[in-house]
Amino acid sequence: MSEGGFSLRKWATNNPTLREEIASHEVDNSVTERTSEKPIAEDGQTYAASSLGTNVTDSCENIRKVIGLQWNTTEDKLVFDMKNYSDLFVSNTPITKRKVLSVISKVYDSIGLIAPVTITMKVLFQQLCKDGVDWDQTISEELYSKVKELKDDLEECKTIQAARCYVEDIADEIKSVELLGFADATIVAYAAVVYIRVLTATGNRVQLVACKTRVAPLVKKCIPRLEILSETILARLINYLYPRSTQTDCQD
Protein backbone atom coordinates (compact mmCIF):
# COMPACT_ATOMS: atom_id res chain seq x y z
CA MET A 1 0.00 0.00 0.00
CA SER A 2 2.79 2.45 0.87
CA GLU A 3 4.53 1.81 -2.45
CA GLY A 4 1.37 2.94 -4.19
CA GLY A 5 1.19 6.11 -2.11
CA PHE A 6 -1.56 4.84 0.22
CA SER A 7 -0.54 5.49 3.82
CA LEU A 8 -2.57 3.40 6.25
CA ARG A 9 -3.59 5.41 9.32
CA LYS A 10 -5.73 5.22 12.44
CA TRP A 11 -3.90 2.27 13.99
CA ALA A 12 -5.00 1.25 17.49
CA THR A 13 -3.37 -1.09 20.00
CA ASN A 14 -3.38 -1.68 23.74
CA ASN A 15 0.37 -2.36 23.74
CA PRO A 16 2.20 0.83 24.81
CA THR A 17 5.49 -0.20 23.17
CA LEU A 18 3.82 -0.91 19.85
CA ARG A 19 1.78 2.29 20.17
CA GLU A 20 4.96 4.36 20.55
CA GLU A 21 6.56 2.60 17.58
CA ILE A 22 3.54 3.32 15.39
CA ALA A 23 3.51 6.95 16.49
CA SER A 24 7.20 7.41 15.70
CA HIS A 25 6.79 5.69 12.34
CA GLU A 26 3.89 7.96 11.41
CA VAL A 27 5.92 11.03 12.35
CA ASP A 28 8.87 9.90 10.24
CA ASN A 29 6.63 9.31 7.24
CA SER A 30 4.30 12.27 7.67
CA VAL A 31 3.51 14.36 4.62
CA THR A 32 4.84 17.90 4.88
CA GLU A 33 2.92 19.36 1.98
CA ARG A 34 -0.81 19.00 1.49
CA THR A 35 -3.28 20.55 -0.84
CA SER A 36 -5.63 21.20 2.08
CA GLU A 37 -5.02 24.14 4.38
CA LYS A 38 -5.69 21.96 7.44
CA PRO A 39 -2.61 20.32 9.00
CA ILE A 40 -2.49 16.59 9.62
CA ALA A 41 -2.93 16.99 13.39
CA GLU A 42 -6.13 18.99 12.91
CA ASP A 43 -7.47 16.43 10.46
CA GLY A 44 -6.86 13.64 12.97
CA GLN A 45 -8.61 15.58 15.70
CA THR A 46 -11.61 16.14 13.44
CA TYR A 47 -11.76 12.40 12.77
CA ALA A 48 -11.71 11.63 16.49
CA ALA A 49 -14.45 14.15 17.18
CA SER A 50 -16.65 12.72 14.45
CA SER A 51 -16.05 9.18 15.71
CA LEU A 52 -16.47 9.73 19.42
CA GLY A 53 -18.99 12.55 19.54
CA THR A 54 -18.91 16.13 20.71
CA ASN A 55 -17.69 15.22 24.21
CA VAL A 56 -14.20 14.27 23.01
CA THR A 57 -11.44 16.24 24.74
CA ASP A 58 -7.67 16.08 24.84
CA SER A 59 -7.92 13.81 27.90
CA CYS A 60 -9.66 11.20 25.72
CA GLU A 61 -6.81 10.91 23.22
CA ASN A 62 -6.36 7.22 24.08
CA ILE A 63 -9.96 6.40 23.14
CA ARG A 64 -10.41 4.98 19.65
CA LYS A 65 -13.48 3.88 17.76
CA VAL A 66 -13.28 0.25 16.61
CA ILE A 67 -16.12 -1.61 14.85
CA GLY A 68 -18.66 0.82 16.26
CA LEU A 69 -17.39 0.77 19.85
CA GLN A 70 -15.22 3.19 21.80
CA TRP A 71 -12.02 1.54 23.02
CA ASN A 72 -9.78 2.93 25.74
CA THR A 73 -6.44 1.56 24.55
CA THR A 74 -4.61 2.56 27.74
CA GLU A 75 -6.88 0.70 30.16
CA ASP A 76 -8.01 -1.81 27.51
CA LYS A 77 -11.69 -1.18 28.18
CA LEU A 78 -14.76 -0.68 26.02
CA VAL A 79 -16.38 2.68 26.75
CA PHE A 80 -20.04 3.68 26.46
CA ASP A 81 -20.63 7.42 26.82
CA MET A 82 -24.22 7.66 28.00
CA LYS A 83 -24.25 11.44 27.69
CA ASN A 84 -23.91 11.10 23.92
CA TYR A 85 -27.22 9.21 23.90
CA SER A 86 -28.99 11.51 26.36
CA ASP A 87 -27.97 14.54 24.30
CA LEU A 88 -29.91 13.11 21.36
CA PHE A 89 -33.15 13.85 23.24
CA VAL A 90 -32.18 17.52 23.61
CA SER A 91 -33.37 19.43 20.56
CA ASN A 92 -35.87 22.04 19.48
CA THR A 93 -38.02 19.39 17.82
CA PRO A 94 -40.76 17.62 19.81
CA ILE A 95 -40.28 14.07 21.05
CA THR A 96 -41.94 11.68 18.61
CA LYS A 97 -41.86 7.95 17.94
CA ARG A 98 -39.49 8.61 15.06
CA LYS A 99 -37.16 10.51 17.40
CA VAL A 100 -37.14 7.71 19.97
CA LEU A 101 -36.38 5.10 17.31
CA SER A 102 -33.59 7.30 15.96
CA VAL A 103 -31.95 7.39 19.39
CA ILE A 104 -32.31 3.63 19.88
CA SER A 105 -30.74 2.89 16.50
CA LYS A 106 -27.63 4.87 17.45
CA VAL A 107 -26.89 2.64 20.45
CA TYR A 108 -24.55 -0.13 19.29
CA ASP A 109 -24.11 -2.91 21.82
CA SER A 110 -23.79 -6.21 19.98
CA ILE A 111 -22.97 -8.40 23.00
CA GLY A 112 -25.23 -6.75 25.57
CA LEU A 113 -22.73 -5.03 27.85
CA ILE A 114 -25.29 -2.28 28.56
CA ALA A 115 -28.38 -4.47 28.19
CA PRO A 116 -30.26 -2.80 31.09
CA VAL A 117 -30.09 0.45 29.11
CA THR A 118 -31.05 -0.94 25.72
CA ILE A 119 -33.95 -3.04 26.98
CA THR A 120 -35.42 0.04 28.70
CA MET A 121 -35.35 1.83 25.36
CA LYS A 122 -36.97 -1.14 23.61
CA VAL A 123 -39.78 -1.34 26.16
CA LEU A 124 -40.43 2.38 25.77
CA PHE A 125 -40.61 2.12 21.99
CA GLN A 126 -42.93 -0.89 22.21
CA GLN A 127 -45.26 1.14 24.42
CA LEU A 128 -45.36 3.86 21.75
CA CYS A 129 -46.30 1.27 19.15
CA LYS A 130 -48.88 -0.30 21.45
CA ASP A 131 -50.56 3.06 22.03
CA GLY A 132 -50.83 3.62 18.28
CA VAL A 133 -48.72 6.78 18.25
CA ASP A 134 -47.97 8.00 14.72
CA TRP A 135 -44.36 8.49 13.66
CA ASP A 136 -44.41 12.28 13.76
CA GLN A 137 -47.06 12.72 16.44
CA THR A 138 -45.99 14.38 19.68
CA ILE A 139 -46.14 11.81 22.46
CA SER A 140 -48.45 12.14 25.45
CA GLU A 141 -47.42 13.67 28.76
CA GLU A 142 -47.31 10.24 30.38
CA LEU A 143 -44.93 8.85 27.76
CA TYR A 144 -42.93 12.07 27.77
CA SER A 145 -42.30 11.64 31.49
CA LYS A 146 -40.90 8.16 30.76
CA VAL A 147 -38.63 9.57 28.07
CA LYS A 148 -37.43 12.27 30.47
CA GLU A 149 -36.81 9.64 33.13
CA LEU A 150 -34.77 7.62 30.62
CA LYS A 151 -32.78 10.72 29.66
CA ASP A 152 -32.07 11.51 33.32
CA ASP A 153 -30.94 7.92 33.92
CA LEU A 154 -28.55 8.10 30.96
CA GLU A 155 -27.07 11.35 32.25
CA GLU A 156 -26.66 9.83 35.70
CA CYS A 157 -24.82 6.82 34.27
CA LYS A 158 -22.35 9.15 32.52
CA THR A 159 -19.78 6.63 31.29
CA ILE A 160 -19.90 2.84 31.46
CA GLN A 161 -16.66 0.91 30.96
CA ALA A 162 -16.24 -2.83 30.49
CA ALA A 163 -12.97 -4.74 30.43
CA ARG A 164 -12.23 -6.07 26.95
CA CYS A 165 -10.18 -8.97 28.32
CA TYR A 166 -12.15 -11.57 30.26
CA VAL A 167 -9.12 -12.91 32.17
CA GLU A 168 -6.00 -10.89 32.89
CA ASP A 169 -3.31 -10.40 35.53
CA ILE A 170 -3.87 -13.80 37.14
CA ALA A 171 -0.64 -14.96 38.79
CA ASP A 172 -2.06 -18.17 40.27
CA GLU A 173 -2.57 -21.34 38.29
CA ILE A 174 -6.00 -21.53 36.67
CA LYS A 175 -7.82 -24.64 37.86
CA SER A 176 -10.94 -24.37 35.75
CA VAL A 177 -13.01 -22.00 33.65
CA GLU A 178 -16.79 -22.12 33.75
CA LEU A 179 -19.54 -20.51 31.72
CA LEU A 180 -22.49 -19.58 33.95
CA GLY A 181 -25.82 -18.82 32.33
CA PHE A 182 -28.90 -17.20 33.85
CA ALA A 183 -32.33 -16.45 32.40
CA ASP A 184 -35.35 -14.60 33.75
CA ALA A 185 -38.49 -12.81 32.63
CA THR A 186 -40.94 -10.12 33.65
CA ILE A 187 -44.28 -9.10 32.21
CA VAL A 188 -42.60 -6.60 29.83
CA ALA A 189 -39.30 -8.28 28.89
CA TYR A 190 -37.12 -11.36 29.22
CA ALA A 191 -33.37 -11.87 29.05
CA ALA A 192 -30.45 -14.28 29.22
CA VAL A 193 -26.94 -13.54 30.45
CA VAL A 194 -23.70 -15.53 30.46
CA TYR A 195 -20.72 -14.98 32.77
CA ILE A 196 -17.28 -16.55 32.77
CA ARG A 197 -15.86 -17.69 36.11
CA VAL A 198 -12.16 -18.45 36.46
CA LEU A 199 -11.25 -20.58 39.47
CA THR A 200 -7.73 -20.36 40.93
CA ALA A 201 -6.04 -21.62 44.07
CA THR A 202 -6.71 -18.35 45.89
CA GLY A 203 -10.16 -17.45 44.65
CA ASN A 204 -12.22 -16.80 41.55
CA ARG A 205 -12.97 -14.05 39.06
CA VAL A 206 -16.29 -13.44 37.34
CA GLN A 207 -16.74 -11.39 34.18
CA LEU A 208 -19.76 -10.67 31.99
CA VAL A 209 -19.46 -12.34 28.58
CA ALA A 210 -22.71 -11.55 26.78
CA CYS A 211 -26.37 -10.75 27.32
CA LYS A 212 -29.44 -10.94 25.10
CA THR A 213 -32.73 -9.19 25.78
CA ARG A 214 -36.17 -9.31 24.21
CA VAL A 215 -39.35 -7.34 24.81
CA ALA A 216 -42.39 -9.43 25.67
CA PRO A 217 -44.82 -10.00 22.78
CA LEU A 218 -47.73 -7.60 22.43
CA VAL A 219 -50.00 -10.62 22.73
CA LYS A 220 -49.97 -11.08 26.48
CA LYS A 221 -48.13 -14.15 27.73
CA CYS A 222 -47.98 -15.61 31.21
CA ILE A 223 -44.74 -15.37 33.19
CA PRO A 224 -43.94 -19.13 32.92
CA ARG A 225 -44.23 -18.86 29.12
CA LEU A 226 -41.88 -15.86 29.05
CA GLU A 227 -39.43 -17.72 31.29
CA ILE A 228 -39.36 -20.56 28.77
CA LEU A 229 -38.57 -18.02 26.04
CA SER A 230 -35.73 -16.62 28.15
CA GLU A 231 -34.34 -20.12 28.66
CA THR A 232 -34.49 -20.66 24.91
CA ILE A 233 -32.32 -17.66 24.11
CA LEU A 234 -29.99 -18.69 26.94
CA ALA A 235 -29.55 -22.14 25.39
CA ARG A 236 -28.78 -20.55 22.02
CA LEU A 237 -26.32 -18.15 23.61
CA ILE A 238 -24.51 -20.95 25.45
CA ASN A 239 -24.37 -23.07 22.30
CA TYR A 240 -22.78 -20.15 20.49
CA LEU A 241 -20.23 -19.28 23.18
CA TYR A 242 -19.21 -22.72 24.42
CA PRO A 243 -17.48 -24.02 21.25
CA ARG A 244 -15.60 -20.73 20.95
CA SER A 245 -14.00 -21.07 24.36
CA THR A 246 -10.24 -21.59 24.20
CA GLN A 247 -10.19 -23.52 27.46
CA THR A 248 -10.48 -27.28 27.26
CA ASP A 249 -11.74 -27.65 30.83
CA CYS A 250 -14.84 -25.46 30.56
CA GLN A 251 -17.74 -27.01 32.39
CA ASP A 252 -21.35 -27.13 31.21
Which tens digit of pLDDT belongs to each residue from 99-139?
899 989 989 999 999 999 999 999 999 999 999 999 999 89
pLDDT digits (tens, 9 = 90+) for 10-49: 788 888 888 888 878 766 665 444 444 444 444 444 444 4
pLDDT 10s digits, 139-156: 999 998 998 898 888 888
Q: Across residues 192-206, what is the average pLDDT?
A: 92
pLDDT tens across 228-237, in order?
999 999 999 9
**More reliable by pLDDT, 213 or 56:** 213
DSSP characters for the chain? -TTTT--------S-HHHHHHHHHHHHHT--S--SSSS-HHHHHHHHHHHHH-TT--GGGTTEEEETTEEEETTTTEEEEEHHHHHGGG-SSSPPBHHHHHHHHHT---TT-TTHHHHHHHHHHHHHHHHTT--TTSBPPHHHHHHHHHHHHHHHHH-EEEEES-SS-S--SPEEEEEEEEEEEE-SSEEEEEEEEEEEESS-EEEEEEEEEEEEPPSS---HHHHHHHHHHHHHHHHHHHGGG-S-TT-B-
CA 42 vs CA 46, 47, 49, 52, 110: distances in Å: 6, 9, 11, 15, 32
Quick one: average pLDDT of 207-223? 95
> What's the chain's average pLDDT?
83
Let me know: does 154 contact 117? Beta carbons within 8 Å. yes
